[in-house]
Each structure stands twice: as structure tokens, then as C-alpha cells.
Amino acid sequence: MLIIRQQQLDQLAKGLLKNDEENLVVEVKEPSVPIVPIDRGLLCVRAEQMKVLQAKALCNFEDELFGYFKKKAVSMSWTVDGDKAIRETVQSGINRAQKYGFTKRGPVRFFVELLFTFGSEFDTDPLLPWAEGVLNNESIKDQVERAGILREAMLEYLAEMSGGRGKEFVRRHAPV
């Protein structure tokens, strides 16, 4: 029997994310595939064990985003209804990002950043057609490419809306 302490579980969950191109969603094709080197041998992780590790990795990522947006709320003087509201917004953002095929840390984080910046319904807001247009564009298969195109569309929008202060405004207010 192998006993894994909480600290080891955290390290293993982080390691799985890094080894899988920073994916939040880790899929196991076959049960008991050796995936993690342990000393001289390999640790075999069953699908149900992988689900536990995936949930822990997702929880760690959620905590990371929560801390980031809590600090940002204070520095930007946002009116936020406490820690619970920030955590719920982060959770909602992670779930909604996956609806658009965002499973990697970078695109998910950017999606949540947009949610805090432009509002909780930015992805369906008729006043922000650039967001909905990019997010629902099925011809953009790669999520990193989609996030990049979304960022460019956002920068164009901010520059246009800021009038003569375009570059300065974008530099100060654009997410990530």
C-alpha cells in the first residue's frame, strides 16, 4: 500500500497539470497507465484516482485565481460583495470557459479576467459582439489561438472606446 500525504498530493496534482501542457482537464485513456515516475519505478494511477487528482488540481487553480482577483479587487477599488462573491465568480468563470473549449490555464485565466473586467455576461452581451463572435467561432479550433484572437479583439475594442487615449488606456486597463 502506498500512502500519499496531502503535500505530496498537491505536488502530484501540480505535476500532472504541468506534464499535460497546463490542462485543467486531464483525461486518462486506459486505466492503470503508469504516468508518474516514483524513484526507480512508475506510479500507476487508475481513472478514479485521476479524478481525485484532477479535482485537487482544479481546486488549487481556483484558489490561485481567487487570490489574484481578491488582490486585484482591492487595488482597482472594485465594489465586490466579499470573498464569497469573488470565489463564486471565479468558479462560474472556470465552468463557462470550458463551455467555449478553454481547458488550459492561460485561456481559462484570461476568460475569467474578461468576466471580471467586462461583466458576468460579457460573452453574450450584445454591446460586446467581438467577444461572442470569437468565442462562438467554430473555425478556430485551437483554444490558445482563440484566446489570442479574443485578446486582439478586446484590445481593438478598448482602443476604439478610449478615444484619443487609446494606447495609454489599453496599457492601464486591459486584462493580462
The CA distance from 167 to 18, in Å, is 34
Query: 123 near 100, Cβ under 8 Å?
Result: yes
pLDDT at residue 43 in the model: 62
Summarize pLDDT for 69-84 with one digit per residue, the tens: 888 876 665 666 778 8
Return d(Cα 176, Cα 83) in angstroms, integer.
Answer: 22
> What is the spatial distance between Cα 96 and Cα 90, in angstroms, rounded to a whole number?
10
CA–CA dist 113, 51 (Å, integer): 26
Average pLDDT over residues 132-149: 95
pLDDT in tens, 46-71: 778 778 888 888 888 999 999 988 88
DSSP class of residue 73 equals H
Q: How far apart are CA 144 and CA 18, in angstroms?
A: 16
Give the chain's radius of gyration (CA, Å). 19
Residue 89, SS3?
A: helix
